[in-house]
Structure 1
Amino acid sequence: MKVKDLAPRRRADVVVKVVSLGEKRNVIGKDGSSHQVMDVLVGDETGAILMSVWDSNIPKVTQGKVFAIEDGFVSVHRGSMRLTLGREGKLVETQGSFEVNTQNNLSDKVVEDEPRRRFR
Structure 2
Amino acid sequence: MPIAPSTYYSHKQIQREPERLSNRKKRDAELIILIREVWEDNMSVYGARKIWKQLQLDDHQVARCTVERLMRVMGIQGVRRGKAHKTTIPDEQQDKPLDLVNRQFTAEQPNQLWVADITYGVLGVQH
Give the structure-2-normalised TM-score: 0.17
Looking at both structures, which has the greater relative contact order when contacts are Cα pairs under 8 Å and sequence separation is at least 6?
1
Q: Which has the higher helix share?
A: 2
Q: Which has the larger radius of gyration?
A: 2
Q: Which has the higher strand share?
A: 1
Give the structure-1-normalised TM-score: 0.17
